A = this chain, B = another copy of it.
Amino acid sequence: MRISDLSRLSGTPVGTIKYYLREGLLPPGRPLGATLTLYGDEHVQRLRLIRALTSRGGLSIAATRDIVTAMDQPLEPLDTLKVVHYSLPTPVDAAETDAVDEHLPRVDRLLTALGWDVSAESPHRRALAASLMDLSRLGLEYSTEDLLPYAEPAAAVARLDLDRLEHIDDRLRLAEYAAIVVLLLEPVLAVLRRLAQENESHHRAAFTATTDETAPKPRPQD
Which positions in A face B, CB cutoff 8 Å?
A: 48, 52, 56, 76, 78, 81-82, 85, 88, 91, 111, 114-119, 122, 124-125, 127-128, 131-132, 134-135, 138, 140, 142, 147, 149-162, 166, 176-177, 180-182, 184-205, 220-222
Residues A162 and B204 in contact in the complex (CB < 8 Å), given A131-B184, A138-B180, A189-B154: yes
Residues A153 and B157 in contact in the complex (CB < 8 Å), given A184-B131, A194-B182, A197-B81: yes
Residues A196 and B158 in contact in the complex (CB < 8 Å), given A128-B191, A140-B180: yes
Judge whether B152 and A156 touch: CB under 8 Å. yes
Judge whether A195 and B76 touch: CB under 8 Å. no
Judge whether A149 and B160 touch: CB under 8 Å. yes
A–B Cβ pairs within 8 angstroms, 15 of them: A82-B198, A82-B201, A114-B199, A117-B199, A118-B198, A135-B188, A138-B180, A150-B192, A152-B156, A153-B154, A154-B192, A154-B193, A158-B200, A161-B197, A162-B201
Report A181 CB to chain B, min CB distance, Å: 8
Instruction: For the A-B complex with A140-B180, A161-B200 known, give 6 more contacts whose Cβ atoms are closer than 8 Å.
Output: A81-B198, A81-B201, A140-B181, A153-B156, A154-B192, A154-B196
Copies of this chain, whole number: 2
Which residues of the partner chain B approach A189 to less than 8 Å between Cβ atoms?
A: 150, 154, 189-190, 193
Interface of A is mostly: helix
Judge whether A131 and B196 touch: CB under 8 Å. no
Residues A197 and B182 in contact in the complex (CB < 8 Å), given A150-B157, A191-B127: yes
Which B-chain residue is minimally distant from A173 (CB atoms)?
Answer: B139
Judge whether B195 and A128 touch: CB under 8 Å. yes
Which residues of the partner chain B approach A147 to less than 8 Å between Cβ atoms?
A: 188, 192
Of A131, A186, A187, A191, most buried by chain B (CB within 10 Å of CB) is A191
Of A125, A128, A187, most buried by chain B (CB within 10 Å of CB) is A187
